[in-house]
Structure 1
């Protein structure tokens, strides 16, 4: 699998995903305004946390070991079967908790129990998300990028259709339901595709559960759970501070900036996820790893910088196209958010090596430290600079993250000839 061809496929996925995300964002902004965007952002953070637990947070481990066991049929069957059992059991347990605690969780997330039904719908359907996530991870690990691309694009289009219909009829509740139901719908599309291609499904047997493989996946589970907890929780705390100090509309403006950032960087993040993790997992020589990292920086970072420049120049146009006039104040957030994005991607190019080599302790420590730093910097800067303070905190936090990653991996690769 070549980095350039993977990036091209990632670009195709991104065109569809970004278009779908932009149209969805415009519809949400038109019908529910800045306050609605903040509410949907809060639920999105909650989803990230819950969905990580729903399949045991094993996605990254499944990608790594699927790539690693490519030529070992028996190990592959054990991996898929073990992952399937973990996904089913974890999703059923989380679903039961969501059903039992629906009203309390609604109050915790939205400060009202009126969205308890939304949480219950999530509880009933969460098993489909977990199984779809497993299928996607295996496709990624096997390097089946064409099929992976088809499934991802189908999911984006289904999500767009559901968002348009449900927001029109049910406003905020419709947008929340669309986030949930799109995952359910895409599972059946994924299942149909892999079944027709005779992939994965035929190799899964409940009786082939393997404790050693489950133990290996657990290290990645811990990393994924920490990641799923730290970033969304940090955003929840920052959003709450903006709401308390400046009102929910200001929190919605900041959330709108986050959505823009996530959308235009989608091609980069998709390329990293589909190429780097499987590739780095198979490399053990320091020279090979260094060469691969250099290739990534040479190809990816110019693309990131150019993308940021284009986004900054077109910021007024972007706001006008994606949002409504009440979002024009977002213009002052672009500079620091985009600069922060550059350092974020540069750091992620290095951080993927932690996932590929299962450096669990370092990964967890850095995730916690820099998420806490992000919140602390926001708490310092928001009272001084207002909404812009949150993006300043983002910028300085990722400078620190990149510097740390550069120093750590220079030392790590120097000390280890084979890793």
Structure 2
């Protein structure tokens, strides 16, 4: 009886278990999709897909001006306070409108320049013009996704993730066999529309009970609070995707486009298993940390999360490493240059997971300065070390830089959070003395 009780009482385990089912299905589908892409398009095609996915990552942040985590935080805190929630979404809607409009204008009128900059060719201009029309759907999808995470509706989240991924994968394969690389790019660009449609179908009724959309009006009372999330999102999402674009271009120019394809392949594998944890971060960790006010409870919660997910994650990564050659042959046939990249990528991702759990305290408590400084140092290290190590170790140098970066980042986050709680204690003592 102990195991069922443990499962019933541990929300982290519930989310992790449901995520595991979804991710397992995604991984199986992803294996077939990536295999077809690798065989049909080769290393250069995989590198091009990596570029467009990074652009989408940047737009995901910029189209809402980075308010996603702010929406998660305030929905979690103000769910029962409808008047305040209306103010949050009225402000967030204005951010969304501005971000979408600016993004669309830049994409449409700068399509040729963006294609030349990212692909050294005007061939992909069509993708950026199409993205200009997709951006509003991407932004709305992101905003509603913030509500799903804020109310910790992990069952709806799982359904949305799985159904939208399966449909998008089908559309991608149709694009591949119809128009080759061009069809794949179009399918990737259209994926946010598919996800939004699924999200509305699955979560639409619940959404209406949380947000009274008829009461939304022009209101910017939460602009300063949401702007802090804009800054944090710019650093963590927009800048990170830009750095990945820069590193991939650097590898292609210095070592060849095939090497860029190998690194894109290993990062895609990494992102697939990291999705296992990303849902937990926004569905559970961020809302939970937002309600914790002291160091003792924070440590207990971190210990609970670590003992639940780190063993599962570590075992899974060990399995990936042991089976790396089989994975390469199944997913990326003939991408033999990927094999040396697994060790440092997996080690770096394990430390990254532990770091990101702690770093969500910055988002939960809106510790803007702490978040930005640690992220900028981390990304600066990644960019600098990648370019230094590539000269010595080739493409393997990038994943080595990834590992070193997260070791240093983990130490920084631990120190900063410790300082935060120490300052809290000092302020409490001062206030008590004043009384």
How many angstroms apart in 2 are the aligned matches of 1:92 and 1:23?
Answer: 37
* 1:113 corresponding residue in structure 2: 122
Question: Are 2:259 and 2:337, in contact at CA under 8 Å, matched by a contact in 1?
Answer: no
* 2:5 corresponding residue in structure 1: none
* 2:158 corresponding residue in structure 1: 149
User: What does residue range 380-391 of structure 1 map to in structure 2 within 5 Å?
Assistant: 380-391=388-399
Question: Are 2:348 and 2:404, in contact at CA under 8 Å, matched by a contact in 1?
Answer: yes
- 411, 415, 419: which one aligns with 2:419: 411
- 65, 81, 85: which one aligns with 1:76: 85
Cα deviation per residue 1:171-209 (whole Å; 9 max; x = unaligned)? 211221111111112212222333334536861247434
- 62, 66, 73: which one aligns with 1:64: 73
* 1:4 corresponding residue in structure 2: 13
How many angstroms apart in 1 are the aligned matches of 2:206 and 2:400?
Answer: 48
Unaligned runs of 5+ in 2: 1-9, 429-435
Deviates more, 1:237-246 or 1:203-212: 203-212
Deviates more, 1:363-372 or 1:210-219: 210-219
Shift of residue 41 of structure 1? 0.7
Do the aligned partners of residues 411 and 197 (structure 1) sit closer, same or farther apart at CA in structure 2, a change above 3 Å counting?
closer
How many angstroms apart in 1 are the aligned matches of 2:306 and 2:156?
Answer: 27
How many angstroms apart in 2 are the aligned matches of 1:235 and 1:388?
Answer: 15
Question: Are 1:58 and 1:224, in contact at CA under 8 Å, matched by a contact in 2?
Answer: yes
Cα deviation per residue 1:253-303 (whole Å; 9 max; x = unaligned)? 011011111112221222222210111111112221121111112222222
Show structure 1 runs of 4+ deviating over 6 A.
Answer: none
Count of matched residue pairs: 418
* 1:211 corresponding residue in structure 2: 220
Shift of residue 311 of structure 1? 0.7
1:362 matched to 2:370: yes
Question: Are 2:62 and 2:238, in contact at CA under 8 Å, matched by a contact in 1?
Answer: no
Cα deviation per residue 1:300-359 (whole Å; 9 max; x = unaligned)? 22222212211111101111111111x122111111111111111111111111111111
Look up the SS of the partner of 1:90 in the other structure. helix
* 1:96 corresponding residue in structure 2: 105
How many angstroms apart in 2 are the aligned matches of 1:389 and 1:290?
Answer: 35
Do the aligned partners of residues 180 and 101 (structure 1) sit closer, same or farther apart at CA in structure 2, a change above 3 Å counting?
same
Shift of residue 214 of structure 1? 2.5
TM superposition score normalised by structure 1: 0.95
Look up the SS of the partner of 1:208 in the other structure. coil
Deviates more, 1:279-288 or 1:10-19: 10-19
Look up the SS of the partner of 1:324 in the other structure. coil
Shift of residue 146 of structure 1? 1.3
TM superposition score normalised by structure 2: 0.91
